[in-house]
């Protein structure tokens, strides 16, 4: 069996998760009649102490719905230049919301309240109206980096003072919370909307949730339908989400340990120029000399280790619940032998 470190989206549902899915109660969710979806939505909302939630097929959809709900055409969205909403969602901000983006060159995917303050446009007819601030935690392209929660609080203050909504792309929020010892309630208090993924480190086959105030989520349900994301007996998927929230959060610490162990082995090799700090389950490192990112990717693939070259010189590995300690030990001995 391959050791698939390409992404934490490659996880397959465990037998216990499949069992939960198989025995789910379902109904037509477009009519609000799927008991499993209703249960998942209220469970997630109450975890974050937010008013409501809506279940969607993907994190791209939850982000894009949030942006659509928060903005008007012609406005500007402030985010880091490496944000998923900007670089990995097919130009969706322009396509779906007719907005433009003001990017900030942050620190490994993270921006500060000061950066945002400088990026807010003045009330001037030449300028786009600033409509939204979007943060990402953990920051994917930042190598799984985590925000300092104090900075998020400052950003919240800045947004309140400037009458700007604040969205969180929390595809890997659980990894951040586990790594930093934070709580869901803390996040629920400072963001107007939060997108969370169940299909990354939590290991479900499909599904994301958008959380927010009741009237915001009502609007989001309408946009979800317009985007073609209204699902019928999707309670089978919600059951996997409920199972994941109940069983798969505590174990994320193990993924973080695995990533740190692999990073330690890599940092001893002469062909590794630099390993980005490993804070959670994503590991990005820079190559030099004997290997390009592509050639190391191919070399590792010969041993059944799947990774992704994310640039000519950078390789990425992501640990997750289908990566066992035995696989990590085996990978470390392969790295040592190269």
Ligand X SMILES: *Cc1c(COP(=O)(O)O)cnc(C)c1O
152 contacts 123 by C-beta, under 8 angstroms? no
Closer to ligand X at the Cβ: 38 or 199? 199
Size of the site for ligand X (CB under 6 A): 13
Closer to ligand X at the Cβ: 170 or 272? 170
**Is residue 144 a contact residue for ligand X (CB under 6 A)?**
no
Residue 220's alpha-carbon distances to 108, 143, 226, 275, in angstroms, are 30, 30, 10, 40
Which region among 34-42, 95-103, 197-205, 233-241 touches ligand X (by CB under 6 A)? Answer: 197-205
**Is residue 281 a contact residue for ligand X (CB under 6 A)?**
no
Which region among 52-60, 72-80, 230-238, 259-267 touches ligand X (by CB under 6 A)? Answer: 52-60
Which region among 194-202, 250-258, 275-283, 288-296 touches ligand X (by CB under 6 A)? Answer: 194-202
Q: Put residue 143 in one of left, alpha, beta given phi > 0 → left and psi -120 to 50 → alpha.
A: left
**Is residue 136 a contact residue for ligand X (CB under 6 A)?**
yes
41 contacts 220 by C-beta, under 8 angstroms? no
Dist. CA 64–CA 169, nearest whole Å: 10
- What are the residues whose beta carbons fall under 8 Å from the beta carbon of 206, sequence distance 6 or more? 57, 58, 198, 199, 237, 240
**Is residue 330 a contact residue for ligand X (CB under 6 A)?**
no
Near ligand X by CB under 6 A: residue from 14, 25, 49, 58: 58
The DSSP code sequence of 223-235 is HHHHTT---SSTH
Which region among 20-28, 59-67, 149-157, 256-264 touches ligand X (by CB under 6 A)? Answer: 59-67
**Is residue 140 a contact residue for ligand X (CB under 6 A)?**
yes
Least Cβ distance, residue 205 to ligand X (angstroms): 11
**Is residue 47 a contact residue for ligand X (CB under 6 A)?**
no
Dist. CA 182–CA 186, nearest whole Å: 7
Binding site for ligand X (CB under 6 A): 58-60, 63, 84, 136, 140, 169, 171, 197, 199-200, 208
């Amino acid at each position: 069996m391959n050791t698939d470190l390409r992404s934490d989206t490659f996880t397959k549902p465990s037998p216990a998760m499949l069992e939960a899915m198989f025995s789910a109660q379902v109904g037509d969710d477009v009519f609000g009649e799927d008991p499993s979806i209703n249960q998942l939505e209220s469970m997630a909302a109450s975890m974050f102490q937010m008013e409501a939630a809506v279940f969607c097929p993907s994190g791209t959809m939850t982000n894009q719905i949030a942006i659509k709900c928060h903005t008007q055409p012609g406005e500007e969205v402030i985010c880091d230049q490496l944000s998923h909403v900007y670089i990995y969602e097919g130009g969706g901000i322009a396509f779906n919301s007719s907005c433009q983006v003001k990017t900030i060159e942050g620190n490994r995917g993270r921006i500060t309240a000061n950066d945002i303050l400088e990026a807010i446009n003045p009330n001037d007819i030449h300028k786009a109206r600033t409509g939204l601030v979007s943060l990402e935690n953990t920051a994917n392209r930042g190598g799984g980096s985590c925000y300092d929660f104090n900075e998020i609080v400052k950003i919240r203050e800045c947004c309140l003072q400037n009458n700007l909504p604040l969205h969180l792309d929390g595809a890997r929020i659980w990894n951040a919370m586990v790594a930093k010892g934070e709580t869901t309630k803390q996040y629920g208090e400072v963001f107007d909307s939060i997108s969370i993924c169940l299909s990354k480190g939590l290991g479900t086959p499909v599904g994301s949730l958008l959380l927010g105030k009741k009237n915001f989520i009502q609007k989001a349900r309408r946009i979800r339908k317009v985007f073609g994301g209204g699902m019928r007996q999707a309670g089978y998927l919600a059951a996997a989400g409920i199972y994941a929230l109940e069983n798969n959060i505590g174990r994320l610490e193990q993924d973080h340990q695995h990533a740190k162990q692999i990073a330690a082995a890599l940092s001893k090799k002469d062909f590794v120029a630099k390993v980005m700090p490993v804070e959670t389950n994503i590991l990005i490192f820079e190559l030099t000399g004997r290997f390009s990112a592509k050639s190391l990717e191919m070399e590792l693939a010969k041993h059944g280790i799947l990774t992704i070259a994310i640039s000519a010189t950078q390789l990425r590995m992501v640990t997750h619940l289908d990566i066992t300690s035995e696989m990590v030990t085996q990978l470390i001995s392969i790295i040592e032998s190269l």
